[in-house]
């Protein structure tokens, strides 16, 4: 049971923070684009870079989940 639950929990809990972070990031970027449409291209590039960085935290959780799923942790079974 715990072998199935732990990867799910790892990615599920780990995705909460980046999800909120990406939401905030895009909100800020869209507001800035709305106020200042001339620099929309530049803001979009930086927004995508920021999203990738926020997303990489979720990727760490994903890697832990994948490791738990395929390799397993010592003492888990």
Partner 1 sequence: MSKLLQPKPLAITIGTLALLVIAILFVRVPLPTILLPAEVIPGLAIGGFKITNTFIATILADIIVLLFGFLAVRKMQEVPESKLQNIFEWVVEIFDGMLTDIGGKEKARAWLAVFMTILLFLLFANWLELVPGVDSIGYIEPLEVAYAEKGVGVGYEIQHIGPFITLTNEQVTLTDEEKHEIEKEFHEAEAAGEKYHPHDPKGYVLTPYVRAAATDLNLTIGLALLVVFWSHIIGFRRLGPKYARRFALPVITGMKPIDLFVGILEFISEFAKIISLSFRLFGNIFAGQVLLFVMAFLVAFLLPLPFMGLELFVGFMQAFVFAILTFIYFEQATHSHAGDEHH
Summarize as ranges the residues that interact with partner 1 (CB under 8 A): 48-49, 52, 55-56, 59-60, 62-63, 66-67, 70-71
Looking at the Cβ atoms of 4 and 63, the one nearer to partner 1 is: 63
Measured distance CA(64)–CA(73) in Å, rounded: 10
Measured distance CA(37)–CA(16) in Å, rounded: 31
- Shortest Å, Cβ 55 to partner 1: 8
- Shortest Å, Cβ 4 to partner 1: 14
- Shortest Å, Cβ 70 to partner 1: 5
Measured distance CA(38)–CA(20) in Å, rounded: 27
Count of residues in the chain: 77
């Amino acid at each position: 049971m715990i072998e199935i639950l732990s990867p799910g929990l790892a990615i599920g809990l780990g995705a909460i923070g980046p999800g909120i972070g990406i939401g905030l990031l895009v909100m800020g970027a869209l507001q800035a684009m709305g106020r200042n449409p001339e620099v929309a291209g530049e803001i979009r590039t930086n927004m995508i870079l920021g999203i990738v960085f926020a997303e990489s935290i979720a990727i760490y959780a994903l890697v832990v989940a994948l490791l738990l799923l395929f390799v397993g942790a010592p003492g888990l079974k």
